[in-house]
Amino acid sequence: MKLKPLNQQTIVITGATSGIGLATARLAAERGAKLVLAARSEADLHHVGAELSHKGAQVVTVAADVASVTDIQRIATTAKERFGGLDTWINNAAASIWGRLEEVSHEDSHRMFETNFWGVVYGSLAAVKHLKKRGGALINLGSVASDIAFPLQGMYSASKHAIKGFTDALRQELEEEGAPISVTLIKPSAINTPFPQHARNYMDKEPKLPPPVYEPEEVANAIVHAAEHPERDIYIGGGGKMFSTMNKHLPRAMDFLNEKVNMKLQTRDEPPRNPAGSLHGPYVRDGKAHGTHPGYVMQKSLYTRASLHPVITGAFAALAGGILVALLSGKNSSSSEPAEENESATA
């Protein structure tokens, strides 16, 4: 399957005014893509749209709630009316809840699923309807939590598990009918965005993400790559891939790690800043790509970069291996020469 170069694409991004969505919008604009940006806050959209337009990007914004089918259809219609259609649709908008499952209200759980799961479903089906006619990429944001259940983020983990199941089934159905659509699931590890501050918080402390933590630009780089190159799954961060593999092969060990370590690593030693978060509306305003994670944040993931370019990585590995063999062979040859001279002298 061939996908267009980014500078020939129109890209839809939901949740485009914060975190991963904002970092992706900036990178896609830099690469020359036309952008349809959607989020709930019209004021934040105006700010982001002005920033990117000032840098020469072609941008249109749509104030929309992905939990509304009508709003999703309006996003797709805007892309068609303004740019003649769309080539990549990125379902990025998400919400979260920190708290023990017994404490979380049904209302909050339903609202989060409306955003995280149904927002992806509505967006995916709207995108597929358009992409079947011209081809393109559908990119859904899952998480390492699509593979692992994290305590204190139980409902969030459940929603990301659901996204994985839906995305995998949709991919299979589209491939079976020969639809010209690449379907990618992105699985970020913990990412340094304002995500914890936007979450509904039931705890008596401010939430934080457990390490390892990566910068949002690493996710944006993977998303932009998937817009041009068909990929099935992309893990962001070797740590996330390691935990996913561990959970698959050593589930009880992963349970122990979550229970004894990760629960303690999900809080800051300070009172909650805004317990309501942005679950039910865009109440926490920031318009920032980066968060305020108190620990070390990794700029890049060598694992992710290698997974996106396996041929080049393999060639470099083979070259490095060849050089190492040559060096060792030369060293062995040098060390054997004196021994041969001594044998001749003795003879």
DSSP state of 207: B
SS3 108: helix
Mean pLDDT across the chain: 92
For 201, the token pair is 């918080």
Cα–Cα distance measured from residue 210 to residue 190, given in angstroms and rounded to the nearest whole number: 7
Annotated catalytic residue, options 156, 202, 214, 235: 156
Give me the pLDDT at residue 1, please. Answer: 83
pLDDT at position 310: 75
pLDDT value of residue 319: 47
Count CB atoms within 10 A of the CB of residue 61. Answer: 23
For residue 306, the surrounding DSSP H or E stretch is helix 302-308
pLDDT at position 345 is 40
296 is catalytic: no
Q: In the prediction, which pLDDT does 317 show?
A: 47
Does domain 6-308 sit in CATH 3.40.50.20?
A: no
Task: Compute the Cα dihedral for 321, 327, 330, 332 and give only its sign.
Answer: negative
Q: Which residues of the chain have pLDDT under 50?
A: 316-317, 319-320, 338-347
The per-residue DSSP string of 227-272 comes to HHS--SEEEESHHHHHHHHHHHH-HHHHHHHIIIIITGGGB-SS--
* pLDDT score for 283: 92
